[in-house]
Structure formats: C-alpha cells, structure tokens
C-alpha cells in the first residue's frame, strides 16, 4: 500500500477503516482493557499538554472551530451524544450552581438593570479608582443586600476578591 500521494493514502486508510470498523473497535477495546495504566498515562500526558502548552491549546481551539465550521451537523450529533451520556452529571452540576447565593444575587441584579431600576455599570465610575466601571461588586450576598452593589472596574474587582490576575 505504499502511496506517494498523501490524498490517495488518506482515502485508502479511510476505506480500510470503514471496511474493518468492527474489528478495529474490538481491538481498541481489548487493548484498553488489557493496558489500563498505559491508557491512563496517555490521557494524563494529553491533559498536561493541553493545560501547560499554550501553542497546543491554540491549535486545538482552531481545530475545533474548523471542525464546527466544516461539519456542523456531525459536531452537533457528537455534542448531543456527549450530553445524553453525561446528562445526570451536567444537570446536577447546573442545579448546584443555580442555587448559590452568588448566582441568585447576580440574577437579581441583572433583572434590576434590565428593568431600569439600577443603571448599567458602564455608565458609572469605579468607586475605588475613579476610572470607568464595567462591573458591580456585591459586598454581601444576603438576600436583603442583593441590590446593594458597588460599581467597579475589572482590575479593582479582582483586587477586592483577592485575585492576583
């Protein structure tokens, strides 16, 4: 099968995988079951590379965008299958997130801004440095204090929360 033309080689392997799909899947499953430590090490290596290599992360992001652009229906089907497979975990995580006082305070503030009861943060000055505000800060998440907020810029907001970024 030595193909000098890369397109011909790619097509050959595509056809080979289509014809031998079940055999290849069975062999892959058998390998994963026989070598769980190698599979885990490979996953960890890939995870570490994604986490620590910005160039690799950028390439993977571009690849995902290209795949969504070229095959939107196929990617939607993959996303649907993933959601169905992990539905219980996703719903449990979302339920936990939606019940936090921070989330409820943010939603109450967003409603008040949308209804015009509180002006948009971008129309105000930062209460700390005096520059243009971009966000609101909740000093307290008690229900009675949800709308008692302070307009701040992003840098001052990070400082208030103790973030070093």
Give 106-127 pLDDT, tens digit per residue.
989 999 999 999 999 999 999 9
Q: Are residues 13 and 27 in the same domain?
A: yes
State pTM to two decimals: 0.44
Q: Are residues 12 and 91 in the same domain?
A: yes
Q: Are residues 71 and 106 in the same domain?
A: no
Among residues 50, 70, 96, the one where a domain terminates is: 96
> What is the b/e burial string over 8-41, where b = at least 16 CB atoms within 10 angstroms of the residue's CB?
eeeeeeeeeeeeeeeeeeeeeeeeeeeeeeeeee
Q: Are residues 12 and 88 in the same domain?
A: yes
Domain count, the chain: 2
Among residues 49, 71, 96, the one where a domain terminates is: 96
Q: What is the DSSP letter of 138?
A: -
Stretch 91-113: mean pLDDT = 85
Q: Are residues 148 and 79 in the same domain?
A: no
Q: Are residues 66 and 146 in the same domain?
A: no
SS3 152: strand
In a domain, 165, yes or no: no
> What is the b/e burial string over 72-84, where b = at least 16 CB atoms within 10 angstroms of the residue's CB?
eeeeeeeeeeeee
Q: What is the pLDDT of residues 54-65, one digit of tens each?
A: 888 888 889 999
Domain that holds residue 149: 100-160
- Would you say the C-alpha torsion 111, 113, 116, 117 has a positive or negative sign? positive
Give the C-alpha separation, 146 to 144, whole Å.
Answer: 6
Q: Are residues 42 and 79 in the same domain?
A: yes
Q: Are residues 92 and 12 in the same domain?
A: yes
């Amino acid at each position: 099968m030595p193909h000098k033309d890369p397109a011909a080689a790619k097509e050959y392997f595509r056809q080979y995988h289509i014809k031998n799909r079940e055999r290849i899947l069975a062999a892959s499953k058998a390998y994963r079951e026989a070598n769980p430590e190698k599979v885990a090490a490979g996953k960890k290596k890939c995870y570490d590379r994604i986490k620590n290599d910005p160039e690799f992360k950028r390439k993977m992001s571009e690849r995902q965008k290209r795949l969504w652009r070229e095959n939107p229906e196929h990617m939607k089907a993959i996303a649907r299958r993933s959601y169905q497979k992990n539905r219980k975990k996703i719903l449990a995580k979302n339920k936990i997130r939606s019940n936090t006082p921070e989330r409820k305070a943010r939603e109450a503030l967003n409603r008040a801004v949308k209804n015009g009861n509180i002006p948009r943060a971008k129309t105000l000055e930062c209460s700390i440095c005096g520059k243009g505000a971009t966000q609101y800060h909740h000093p307290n998440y008690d229900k009675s204090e949800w709308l008692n907020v302070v307009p701040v810029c992003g840098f001052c907001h990070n400082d208030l929360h103790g973030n070093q970024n």
